[in-house]
């Protein structure tokens, strides 16, 4: 997708910012980006549900919103009572979601099984790189959320495993899929750029760069195209107008949490818990969208 050309340019700009801005400033900017573009990219799930599920055409929009919020609440409670299991599920769901968003258009002609494994392993590779380069910070956040101390020294081994699986599937797909062949060099460059960003940036800044530039904005592009049929200034404005109040409610909710838990460590744990609660239903919605648009 051409949109990734903008992502790579903006990523180099982020590296420049990383060199000249203080860590506290990048931390706040990273949070702002996550809570703006990041939350916005999941704010129109209701519209997508309404468009993808014919059985819901006769239901009111309030009914669909009620179901969606119930699912979000369920996963929020899941995080509250089973934080360790919920955190693991969040990482696995998000890994597949990241991989699906990045590779869906490239692997359209591949079998469903190969496509699923490749996308999942790619997402795990992304998480693994972030975890490896920010091991102590990630271990602290995991402890804050799950109340378990986990040593992530095994991450390099997992990276080798996921890399080997990607290589094996990639060799097969390279021989059978022409479009994959034309994209391979470009995708390897993207992965190298991401690895450099993860290595030199602080955790929140590194996550914000990937989450916003490499995931949320491409996802917004696909969602707008699915909902309206094309992407232009008019449809972008329409999308943002529909998403605005959902975004406001989310930000207000997080602001209230921050006032109650005015501690950086606790707030980071709450932030990732919040993102997880809205991620679970969002992953299912986007997966359904891709299946219908294929």
pLDDT at 158 > cutoff 90:
yes
Using a 10 angstrom Cβ sphere, with 0-12 exposed, 13-18 middle and 19 or more buried, the burial of residue 119 is buried
pLDDT at 118 > cutoff 90:
yes
- Boundaries of domain holding 101: 3-293
Report which of 134, 128, 155, 152 is spatially closest to residue 199, judged by C-alpha positions: 134
Output the 3-class SS for the chain.
Answer: CCHHHHHHHHHHHHHHHHHHCCHHHHHHHHHHHHHHHHHHCCCCHHHHHHHHCHHHCCCCHHHHHHHHHHHHHHHHHHHHHCHHHHHHHHHHHHHHHHHHHHHCCCCCCCCHHHHHHHHHHHHHHHHHHHHHHCHHHHHHHHHHHHCCCCCCCCHHHHHHHHHHHHHHHHHHHHHHCHHHHHHHHHHHHHHHHHHHHHHHCCHHHHHHHHHHHHHHHHHHHHHHHHHHCCCCHHHHHHHHHHHHHHHHHHHHHHHHHHHHCCCHHHHHHHHHHHHHHHHHHHHHHHHHHHHHHC
Structurally, the chain folds into a number of domains equal to 1
pLDDT in tens, 54-81: 655 566 667 777 877 788 888 878 877 8
Higher pLDDT, 257 or 291: 291
> In the structure, what pLDDT confidence band is assigned to residue 294 with cuts at 50, 70 and 90?
low
Contacts of 72 (CB under 8 A, 6+ apart): 277, 278, 280, 281
pLDDT at 292 > cutoff 70:
yes
DSSP state of 56: G
- Tokens standing for residue 148: 């378990």
pLDDT at 84 > cutoff 70:
yes
Per-residue pLDDT, 263: 60
pTM over 0.85, yes/no: yes
Query: Which residue carries 């099984």 as its tokens?
Result: 113
Phi, psi of 110 (to 5 degrees): -80, 160
């Amino acid at each position: 997708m051409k949109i990734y050309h903008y992502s790579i340019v903006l990523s180099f700009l982020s590296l420049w910012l990383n060199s000249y801005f203080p860590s506290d400033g990048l931390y706040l900017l990273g949070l702002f980006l996550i809570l703006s573009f990041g939350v916005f990219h999941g704010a129109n799930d209701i519209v997508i549900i309404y468009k993808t599920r014919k059985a819901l055409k006769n239901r009111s929009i309030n009914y669909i919103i009620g179901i969606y919020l119930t699912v979000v609440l369920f996963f929020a409670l899941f995080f509250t009572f089973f934080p360790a299991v919920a955190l693991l599920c969040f990482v696995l769901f998000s890994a597949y979601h990241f991989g699906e968003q990045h590779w869906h258009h490239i692997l359209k002609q591949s079998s469903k099984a190969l496509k699923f494994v490749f996308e999942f392993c790619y997402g795990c590779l992304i998480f693994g790189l972030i975890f490896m380069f920010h091991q102590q910070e990630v271990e602290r956040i995991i402890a804050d959320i799950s109340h378990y101390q986990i040593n992530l020294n095994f991450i390099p081994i997992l990276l080798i495993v996921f890399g080997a699986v990607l290589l094996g599937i990639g060799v097969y797909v390279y021989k059978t899929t022409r479009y994959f062949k034309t994209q391979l060099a470009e995708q390897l460059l993207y992965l190298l750029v991401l690895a450099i960003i993860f290595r030199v940036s602080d955790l929140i800044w590194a996550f914000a760069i990937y989450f916003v530039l490499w995931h949320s904005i491409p996802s917004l592009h696909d969602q707008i195209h699915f909902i309206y049929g094309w992407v232009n200034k008019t449809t972008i404005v329409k999308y943002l107008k529909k998403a605005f109040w959902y975004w406001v409610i989310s930000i207000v909710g997080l602001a209230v949490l921050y006032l109650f838990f005015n501690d950086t460590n606790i707030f980071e744990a709450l932030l990732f818990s919040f993102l997880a609660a809205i991620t679970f239903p969002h992953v299912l919605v986007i997966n359904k969208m891709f299946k219908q648009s294929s």
